[in-house]
Structure 1
Amino acid sequence: MNNQDPIADMLTRIRNATRVGRRFVQVPRSKICLGIAQVLKDEGYVEDYDSVDDEQQGQIRIKLKYATNGQKVIQTIDRTSKPGCRVYRSVKDLPSILNGMGICVISTSKGVMSDRRAREQNVGGELLCTIS
């Protein structure tokens, strides 16, 4: 599969898997997707992830997280910056998602991080996606 936007593909796979209640989802491995998976784990939106080697580029296996009553932890997951229309924000212009209940994933010069960490490190960057 030749996908032009691996981030949108990853988010769509996670969205679809949570919609049907899957425990795991696999996405093609790339540096940016590994960074997003790490942010999702650090912020408590997924339980864990690991890399799986295959004959092509490899996969990331993500263990999705659900509440004890079976409710989804990830309610919405949306792509902000797209290949045709990039969205950049300085640290003072970073949006607050649901008054701090959600996060933005940002690609900065210091790596992929949540909006909270970007504020701590005082860096802005490309707004990849929002999760709540």
Structure 2
Amino acid sequence: MTDPIADYLTRIRNAVMARHRVVEVPASNMKKEMTKILFDKGYILNYKFEDDGKQGIIKIALKYHPETKACAIKHLERVSKPGLRRYVNARELPRVLNGLGIAIISTSQGLMTDKEARTKNIGGEVVCYVY
């Protein structure tokens, strides 16, 4: 697999379109941090890290509206790809949907949202957009 982050986003996107409640994803440190960010920002209901003797599994419980059955995640988009990385400095950090969505940025201080990177005045690699 050449792009495990794109696979992570695609598994979540497919589970949302199929209206699944839980999706299982192979674990890595970067995927764990992305899952924590999605949980903190309210895009997923819950998550659990399980050890299976190999690399581990992340179980993600997706969040749906109780009446309209609409998922909290409308769009997941991979920005920086293995063939074309996208780096930005602190002044060029993207705003997703005028601040309604988030951009996950990989910085020298770890993964964080665009808003956190803006307050810390650091740039990095734009991993994905979520709204």
TM-score (norm 1): 0.95
SS of aligned partner of 1:82 = coil
- Measured in 1, the distance between the counterparts of 2:124 and 2:46 equals 25
- Measured in 1, the distance between the counterparts of 2:115 and 2:65 equals 23
Q: 1:54: Cα distance to partner?
A: 1.1
Question: In structure 2, what residue type is equivalent to 1:19?
Answer: M
- Measured in 2, the distance between the counterparts of 1:57 and 1:28 equals 7
* Percent identity of equivalent pairs: 46
Give the structure 2 partner of residue 115 of structure 1. 114
- Measured in 1, the distance between the counterparts of 2:11 and 2:88 equals 26
Alignment of 1:41-52 (within 5 A): 41-52=39-50
Question: In structure 2, what residue type is equivalent to 1:57?
Answer: Q
TM-score (norm 2): 0.95
Q: Which runs of 4+ in 1 moved over 2 A?
A: none
Give the structure 2 partner of residue 7 of structure 1. 5
Is 1:19 the counterpart of 2:17? The answer is: yes
- Measured in 2, the distance between the counterparts of 1:78 and 1:21 equals 19
Q: 1:50: Cα distance to partner?
A: 1.4
Q: 1:28: Cα distance to partner?
A: 0.7
Over the aligned positions, Cα root-mean-square deviation in angstroms equals: 0.9
